[in-house]
């Protein structure tokens, strides 16, 4: 495991290449930070793990980029719709938590203090906003079909009693949801297997100035 450098944390804060300016959903429009990354670095396609320094983790948690106490992240570059990373190699058994950031259009799964998976998401379109807060997983349904919208919702993790769930979806440009969090189907399956009823899902809007604030703290 190597130490995280500031450039990787800045890219993490910037979000996905799919990220649109908040609050628009589903547009494949890079953020200004994403536009600067014209060529992915070597680690962008690797799932190697990188360690966070305590100061980095504290600053990122204050900006709502990740849970308090996070110790390591998967090393990856910015992602587009449909892309994900998953690697729990050598991560000890422990409680799994899920962190959804609507601003960055990203979700991360953590086992204990270590990120084990992350992907680009879809979220609720205007008028069908994805609720924010911390929610326990109420129930899991592997093969669910929405009667309200006549749509498949594979590997659903329900977090509200009125049907909001994290589930497999066609995470493509221009798409949004009716309030659910849409995940790439294979990522949804992996998350479904890792998460249990009662595990917590936190949905936030991170600080839009997080990248600049983190950069201003360098060197750690």
Residue extents of the structural domains in the chain = 2-216
Lowest mean pLDDT among 44-48, 103-107, 132-136, 192-196: 44-48
What per-residue confidence (pLDDT) applies to 41? 34
Lowest mean pLDDT among 60-64, 165-169, 176-180, 211-215: 211-215
Q: At what angle do helices 6-14 and 54-62 cross, to 10 degrees?
A: 20
CATH 3.40.710.10 assigned to 2-216 = no
Q: How many CA atoms lie within 13 A of 125 on its CB side?
A: 7
C-alpha 101/C-alpha 104 separation (Å) is: 6
**Structure confidence at residue 29 as a pLDDT band (50, 70, 90):** very low
List strand residue ranges (DSSP E) for the chain, in order: 2-3, 49-51, 72-74, 84-86, 96-101, 106-111, 114-120, 133-136, 139-146, 151-158, 165-168, 181-183, 200-204
Q: What percent of the chain has pLDDT over 90?
A: 49
What per-residue confidence (pLDDT) applies to 143? 84
């Amino acid at each position: 495991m190597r130490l995280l450098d500031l450039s990787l944390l800045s890219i993490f804060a910037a979000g996905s290449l799919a990220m649109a300016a908040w609050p628009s959903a589903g547009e494949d429009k890079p953020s200004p930070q994403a536009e600067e990354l014209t060529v992915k670095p070597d680690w962008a396609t690797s799932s190697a793990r990188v360690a966070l320094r305590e100061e980095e983790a504290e600053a990122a948690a204050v900006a709502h980029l990740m849970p308090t106490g996070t110790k390591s992240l998967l090393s990856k570059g910015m992602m587009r719709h449909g892309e994900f990373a998953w690697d729990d190699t050598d991560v000890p058994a422990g409680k799994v938590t899920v962190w959804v950031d609507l601003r960055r259009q990203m979700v991360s799964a953590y086992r204990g203090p270590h990120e084990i998976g992350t992907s680009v998401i879809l979220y609720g379109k205007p008028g069908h906003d994805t609720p924010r807060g911390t929610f326990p997983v109420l129930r899991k349904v592997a093969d669910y079909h929405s009667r309200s919208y006549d749509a498949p919702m594979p590997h659903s993790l329900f977090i509200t009693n009125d049907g909001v769930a994290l589930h497999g979806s066609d995470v493509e440009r221009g798409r949004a949801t009716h309030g659910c969090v849409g995940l790439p189907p294979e990522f949804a399956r992996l998350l479904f297997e890792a998460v249990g009823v009662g595990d917590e899902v936190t949905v936030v809007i991170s600080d839009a100035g997080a990248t600049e604030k983190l950069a201003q703290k360098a060197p750690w």
